[in-house]
């Protein structure tokens, strides 16, 4: 049996048909749409590597069934930069060396964009660390991540976040 859903992915509306109700958003992107920027680190919502924005909110895409997101508007790491212009969070991650191996990085960045949009953390390092603690980094790039989020937060007074990013 085929299923058909409509998703707006990185600003582009797509009609997507697939034959299996078990497909998660993560596997839909990675294996069927070949949008492989979003990573699979645990497949059970424990590491945050698969974080994406759904209707502006950060979620673990490994725990989200594609079928239950008909009509959703989704931003992945591939959709963050606009017109060759990096999103402030992306630029801040490079500048502050907020990654090493880079595997958790798409999830960290999407989580940071979500956190900034939530507006709870501000530029308080403790709150940023807490708000980013759903995203594991085994290389231990946390100091750079925290600095990057704070820097992006500061420069993002004017920058738009979430879906509009």
Partner 1 sequence: MSDIPTLSAGSHQRHGSNIGQPLTRRDGLLKVTGGARYAADNNPDGLLHAVLAVASIARGRVTHLDVEAAKAHPGVVDVMVPGNRPALASDPDEKSNPFMFRLDLLQNDRVRYAGQPIAVVIAETFEAATEGARLLAPTYETEQARTGLEGEPFAPEKVGAGNAARAQSGDVEAELAGSARTLEAVYETPAQYHNAMEPHAVVAHWQGDRLVIDTPSQGLAMAVMRVAGLFGLTPDKILVRSPFLGGGFGSKGFLSSAQILGILAAKLVDRPVKLALTRPQMFGPVGHRAPTRQTLRIGLGQDGKLTAIDHATLTASSTFDDFFEPASDISHTLYAAPAIRTSHEAVRVDTGTPLFMRAPGEATGSIALESAIDEAAETAGLDPLEFRLKNYAEAEPISGLPFSSKALRECYEQGAARFGWADRPREPRTMRDENGLLVGWGMGTATFPALMFEAEARAVIRADGSGVMETGAHDMGQGAWTALAQIAADAIGLDLTRVTFNAGSSDLPNAGIAGGSGHTATAGMALHKAGEAVIAKLADLATEDEASPLFGADNVGVIARDGKLLRRDDESRGEAFGDILKRAGLSNIEARGKAGGDNAAREHYAMHAHGAVFAEVKIDPDLCQIRTTRLVGAFAAGRIINPRLVESQLFGGMIWGVSFALHEEGIQDKRSGRIVNGDFGEYHVPVNADVPSLEAILVHEEDQLVNLLGIKGVGEIGITGTGGAIANAIWHATGKRLRRFPIRPADLLG
Considering the complex, what minimum distance in angstroms separates the CB of residue 44 from partner 1?
7
Assess 52 for contact with partner 1 (CB under 8 A). Answer: no
Q: How far apart (Å, rounded) are the C-alpha atoms in residues 160 and 117?
A: 8
CB 18 within 8 A of CB 7: no
Please give the DSSP secondary-structure letter assigned to residue 31: I
Assess 140 for contact with partner 1 (CB under 8 A). Answer: yes
Q: Between 7 and 111, whose beta carbon lies closer to partner 1?
A: 111
Backbone φ, ψ for residue 139 (5° rounding): -70, -20
Instruction: Give residue for tokens 């069927």.
Output: 32
Structure tokens given for 51: 């974080």
- Which element (helix H / strand E) includes 57? strand 57-60
CB 137 within 8 A of CB 80: no
**Binding residue for partner 1, selected from 4, 57, 65, 97, defined by CB under 8 A:** 97
**Binding residue for partner 1, selected from 16, 67, 129, 162, defined by CB under 8 A:** 129
Assess 144 for contact with partner 1 (CB under 8 A). Answer: yes
**Binding residue for partner 1, selected from 11, 14, 42, 154, defined by CB under 8 A:** 42
Q: How far apart (Å, rounded) are the C-alpha atoms in residues 83 and 157?
A: 20
Assess 139 for contact with partner 1 (CB under 8 A). Answer: yes
Q: Which residues of the chain form contacts with partner 1 (CB under 8 A)? A: 20, 22-23, 27, 30-31, 34-44, 46-47, 49, 76-78, 80-81, 86, 90-91, 93-95, 97, 99-106, 109, 126, 128-130, 132-146
């Amino acid at each position: 049996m085929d299923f058909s859903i409509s998703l707006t992915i990185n600003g582009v509306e797509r009609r997507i048909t697939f034959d299996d109700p078990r497909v998660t958003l993560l596997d839909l992107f990675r294996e069927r749409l070949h949008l492989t920027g979003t990573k699979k680190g645990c497949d059970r919502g424990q590491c945050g590597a698969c974080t994406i924005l759904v209707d502006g909110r950060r979620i673990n895409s490994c725990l989200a069934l594609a079928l239950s997101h008909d009509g959703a508007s989704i931003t992945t790491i591939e959709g963050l930069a606009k017109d060759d212009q990096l999103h402030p969070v992306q630029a801040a991650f490079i500048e502050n060396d907020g990654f090493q191996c880079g595997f958790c990085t798409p999830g960290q960045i999407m989580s940071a964009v979500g956190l900034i949009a939530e507006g709870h953390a501000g530029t308080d390092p403790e709150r940023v660390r807490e708000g980013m603690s759903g995203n594991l980094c085994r290389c231990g790039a946390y100091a750079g991540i925290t600095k990057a989020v704070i820097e992006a937060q500061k420069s993002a007074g004017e920058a738009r976040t979430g879906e509009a990013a």
